[in-house]
Amino acid sequence: MTEVLRIGLIDADSDIRFGRRMLIDSQSDCKVVFEEETASGSLERAPEALLDVLVIDHRVRGMDGIQLVSKLIPLYQANDSDVPAIILTGPYFSYELLLSSIAAGATDLVTLDSDSGELLKAIRTSASKEDSLDFDSLKALMSRAKDVVFDVPDILVKLGTLEEREPDVLAAFKQGLDDDRIAASVDIPKYRVRQAMKAILAKCSLATRAQLFLAINAADGKNG
């Protein structure tokens, strides 16, 4: 039996939510189990919902989508819950919006003019992929979107709380190594690398490795 992905929709436009719910629920492997239209309601209810993927529109009542993503992640972690994959939707595409979305913790950006298959593809891809990082693609995106400003408060202080092999794993990660090469470099099993990376993200209130990479680069730029 195919595992059904639990999807949440956050969008101020009820018509758009209806259309997306109809699209998603028409798939045998997806089901919308959560909906919200306001930022305040999302912050209160979403962290209690069991979700695999959360689709958040950039325009939410009371807050823009990027701000909402950045506020939701610490709430999930405070509940000791896994952060769902987050897809941001917006009215247009720009490299700046894509990079801002990733910096906030989203895994993908889908625009309103994309066909329905793009949203379904993003949902399935975000839900299934391991949290690995394509360093070259992210660096290329950073070079295209030079005016994006992102920051994680006290990131260096938070990184100072790392324990055991976590600093070694982080140092290898900063070199652009994948998990196999990190494991070989630090001389620990690959599953321990994943455990360490998950712990590092939690201590920094981050959801993805891409966020971590961007935050470290921003901090290094300030202190360079």
Mean pLDDT of 114-124: 89
Q: What is the per-residue pLDDT across 75-85, written as a single tens digit (0 to 9) for each? A: 988 887 888 99
Pairing of strands 5-10, 30-36: parallel
Range 173-180 contact pairs with CB under 8 angstroms and sequence separation of 24 or more: 173/197, 173/209, 173/212, 173/213, 174/213, 174/216, 176/135, 178/132, 179/132
Indicate whether 114 belongs to any domain: yes
Q: Are both 97 and 161 inside the same structural domain? A: no
75 plus 173 within the same structural domain: no
Q: Is 163 contained in some domain?
A: yes
Are 78 and 125 contained in the same domain?
A: yes
How many structural domains compose the chain? 2
- Alpha carbon distance 86, 141 (integer Å): 19
CA 6 to chain centre: 16
Q: Is the pLDDT of residue 61 over 80?
A: yes
pLDDT digit string, tens, across residues 15-38: 999 999 999 999 999 999 999 999
Residues 20 and 121 in one domain: yes
Are 97 and 185 contained in the same domain? no
Q: What is the CATH number of the domain that holds 166?
A: 1.10.10.10
Query: Is the Cα torsion angle 209, 213, 218, 224 positive or negative in sign?
Result: positive
Q: What is the CATH number of the domain that holds 41?
A: 3.40.50.2300
Mean pLDDT of the region 12-16: 91
Q: 104 and 165: one domain?
A: no
Per the structure, the complete domain to which residue 165 belongs is given by 155-223
Residue 197 lies inside a defined structural domain of this protein: yes
Cβ neighbors of 77 (< 8 A, separation 6 or more) are: 83, 202, 205
Nearest partner of 90 among 121, 62, 119, judged by Cα: 119
